[in-house]
């Protein structure tokens, strides 16, 4: 396994991070346990979850993934072997704390205490803001629409002050962002330095061969300010494994089960771009999914690549991507496809 520092800390996290969002929906607790056992044995010490998981998020499965992880900690007594990341939901889900899921004092405390209880742990290593409180063009939306009447509780300083209390109490070790913009990231870093408040150590945003928009503004910030990317959706919901090529729709796949939720990668040039990348993997005798993952892992601005598998076969294939080598020639051909089909699924 390969390891990198989390932000500017001495904490070493595996460059493959175990994603967990399918546990409690597509995967049972038994399957989740098997994945955790296997990943840890392979040197994957970094796991990511969120209070709103399982996915697609809904009231009935809120917190179920954290419960499964907590039950595994209780059974195995291996909490100290894992660097655990979770997230507090931003506003929009009415069933989460009656819709008042801001990053304010009591609300943040209730969210954190709820996660700690479900996870059966006293602390979370990396606590992330799942998406901004303010209006941003995230989750595949293009174009920024500014709203002058944004709610007053959208306050970066107050958010960091609130998080500091829990860092001081030992409930959180480090903090991070998710689905954040260059402006928001810079603002958080500015305020934390100026006011001597906890510093954001990571950004969890989408990054894959179909969506390289992170490179435009955030990559430079990641490198210069040591706030690396935790790349989610590195296989673009399975499109970059090749499973949906030639109009295939495997049973129990994400698109077959919840197609309306995963429309982000159903775009006009998706299949053309996927086929072009697939041909490169075929030409060099590489597993398509492993090539796609490795391309993400080798980027200088990436700290870790979050893999989410629904079968043990997928999990093993994904973890083994660390052993793949991409020559300069392969990387050049990949970049040439990006020039022809630039970010077909932003």
The residues annotated with a catalytic role in the active site are: 53
The tokens describing 103, both together, are 């990053």
The tokens describing 176, both together, are 């991070």
Cα 134 from chain centroid (whole Å): 20
How many beta carbons lie within 10 A of that of residue 37, not counting itself?
Answer: 13
How many beta carbons lie within 10 A of that of residue 129, not counting itself?
Answer: 24
Residue indicated by tokens 């990436």: 302
Dist. CA 74–CA 68, nearest whole Å: 10
Q: What is the largest CA-CA distance in the chain?
A: 56
How many beta carbons lie within 10 A of that of residue 165, not counting itself?
Answer: 15
Query: Considering Cα of 209, then 215, then 217, then 222, what sign does the dihedral take?
Result: positive
Dist. CA 338–CA 224, nearest whole Å: 25
| Helices and strands in the chain: count of H runs, count of E runs | 11, 10
H or E segment to which residue 37 belongs? helix 29-41
């Amino acid at each position: 396994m390969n390891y990198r520092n989390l932000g500017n800390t001495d904490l070493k996290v595996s460059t493959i991070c175990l994603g967990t969002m399918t546990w409690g929906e597509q995967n049972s607790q038994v399957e989740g346990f098997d994945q955790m056992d296997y990943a840890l044995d392979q040197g994957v010490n970094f796991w990511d979850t969120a209070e709103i998981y399982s996915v697609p998020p809904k009231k009935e499965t809120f917190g179920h993934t954290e419960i499964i992880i907590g039950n595994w900690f209780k059974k195995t007594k291996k909490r100290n072997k894992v660097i655990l990341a979770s997230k507090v939901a931003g506003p929009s889900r009415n069933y989460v704390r009656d819709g008042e899921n801001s990053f304010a004092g009591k609300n943040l405390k209730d969210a954190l205490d709820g996660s700690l209880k479900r996870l059966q742990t006293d602390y979370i290593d990396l606590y992330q803001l799942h998406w901004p409180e303010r209006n941003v063009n995230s989750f595949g939306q293009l174009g920024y629409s500014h709203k002058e009447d944004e709610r007053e509780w959208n306050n970066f300083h107050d958010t960091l002050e609130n998080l500091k209390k829990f860092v001081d109490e030992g409930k959180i070790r480090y903090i991070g962002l998710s689905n954040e913009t260059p402006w928001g990231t810079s603002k958080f870093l500015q305020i934390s330095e100026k006011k001597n408040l906890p510093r954001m150590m990571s950004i969890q945003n989408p990054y894959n061969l179909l969506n390289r928009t992170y490179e435009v503004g955030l990559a430079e910030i990641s490198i210069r300010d040591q706030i690396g990317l935790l790349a989610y959706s590195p296989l673009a919901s399975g499109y970059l494994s090749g499973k949906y090529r030639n109009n295939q729709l495997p049973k129990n796949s994400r698109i077959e089960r919840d197609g309306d939720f995963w429309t982000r990668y159903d775009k006009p040039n998706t299949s053309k771009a996927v086929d072009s990348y697939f041909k490169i993997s075929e030409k060099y005798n590489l597993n398509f999914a492993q090539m796609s993952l490795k391309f993400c892992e080798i980027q200088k601005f990436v700290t870790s690549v979050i893999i989410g598998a629904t079968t043990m076969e997928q999990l093993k294939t994904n973890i083994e991507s660390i052993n793949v080598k991409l020559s300069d020639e392969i990387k050049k051909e990949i970049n040439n496809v990006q020039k022809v089909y630039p970010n077909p699924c932003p």
